[in-house]
A and B are shown apart, each in its own frame.
Chain A
């Protein structure tokens, strides 16, 4: 199956992105079942150590194993990113399909709402809403999904507006095929080449946005772990001459984003 995938997207961006993403996802999946130490277990004897064989990424001031915490945190971040993209891309596609296909009043109303959402920088908007709602995983997912909708809606709308004029859609109408079926089965498969790279980049942005939110203290709540949260904690360690924490957490974020970016670029280059 992988060979088939590589034959279809035969470029190095896709292959490199695929391997990095697969590696990270695998690591995170393993982290859900098994971590070298309990991510929350404190060990007074092993406080604030640098990397060693016993603690691959060192330990924090409480003697907690950073590698175990990175695995758990990356898992939380990925889960958040997954649901943000699922909801954002899903609803964005729905809005884009309806506005692009029907035009008219539906288009005017929904797209003006999208314009209003895009008028604010998305991270700023998410920050404001989160500041009101308070931190927490579900709130982060909801808010980020909301600010992600317009970008997907716009891409999908353009495609639906273009494809609805093509002859094969006219033909489907004449054949008496229902409108929902035309939207889903006739047009949707044809926008995948445009939608998939956008989803990949969306993942990327979601990871970054979650990290930024949590870094600023409005993301996941204090008791939860996430990459952004950990990056925020790690600031204190840098000033005290312990850069490992920040470096390893930062590296994890960079690898995740690099993987998704390359994947997105690889998917886009195909045509």
Chain B
């Protein structure tokens, strides 16, 4: 499927990482985490990154976000800094702070010094993600998993990014809440023209949001293509396995 525009947001070229492990016998073993991974992400596109745990998808996300100190290959961003939505909504929000403070923090960086101006923007953002003013004074411990993830989405969007990395954003949630959050993400994508790199182990979830899929296994890209093609006619046996499992 053709990307919605030809403007590249992200270019990943030949990215590899490995770590060496010493066995008790003294043999050095090289463990590949990522091996020669290349792909592009275009503006307005939701790219799914699918694989089981240990496939290297989270390491790749860390590299893209700039949290991986060492890797081979190049990662080029064509947008401002990406934002992120994490899997675990329990560690993604500062437990010592209120929702207003958490959402106000990026605005302070952006130079919005006026508290009233900040608050207006925060309330506007809360309403966008389906919450309201009454959440301003709450702390993360007073929120449900779904509500926390809405706040996480608001925290990512308030920076007005063009590109969001979502690392298993719904896998810690109930199925009904999953659907709501996915719908919210889809709506935000339309509204802001966002690009997503959507990491998941669940083909079903990817199917609901993504335009294109990359399937990874043991650090290697085994298949790549438009979502419908991957779903209807998977080529690689591993992809077939994943698709079967999701039916």
A residues near B (Cβ < 8 Å) are 166-168, 170-177, 186, 189-190, 192
Contact = CB atoms under 8 A, between A and B. Distances in A.
B94 A190 contact: yes
25 contacts: A167-B91, A167-B92, A168-B93, A170-B65, A171-B92, A171-B155, A172-B94, A173-B67, A174-B65, A174-B82, A174-B83, A175-B83, A175-B105, A175-B106, A175-B109, A175-B155, A177-B105, A177-B106, A177-B109, A186-B94, A186-B105, A189-B94, A189-B97, A190-B96, A192-B96
B193 to A, nearest CB: 20
Contacts of B82: 174
Chain A residues touching B, majority SS: helix
B88 interface: yes
- Residue in A170, A173, A192 with the greatest tally of chain B CB atoms within 10 Å: A170
- Residue in A166, A168, A176, A192 with the greatest tally of chain B CB atoms within 10 Å: A168
Contact of B94 (A168, A173, A192): A168
**How extensive is the interface on chain B, given as a class?**
20 to 34
A5 to B, nearest CB: 17
Contacts of B93: 168
Contacts of A171: 84, 86, 92, 155
A175 B159 contact: yes
B113 interface: no
B167 to A, nearest CB: 9
Interface in B83-103: 83-84, 86, 88, 91-97
Contacts of B86: 167, 170-171
B163 to A, nearest CB: 11
B140 to A, nearest CB: 9
Contacts of B106: 175-177
B81 interface: yes
Given A167-B86, A168-B91, A176-B106, 19 more contacts: A167-B91, A167-B92, A168-B92, A168-B94, A170-B65, A170-B67, A173-B67, A174-B83, A174-B84, A175-B83, A175-B105, A175-B106, A175-B109, A176-B109, A177-B105, A177-B109, A190-B94, A190-B95, A192-B96
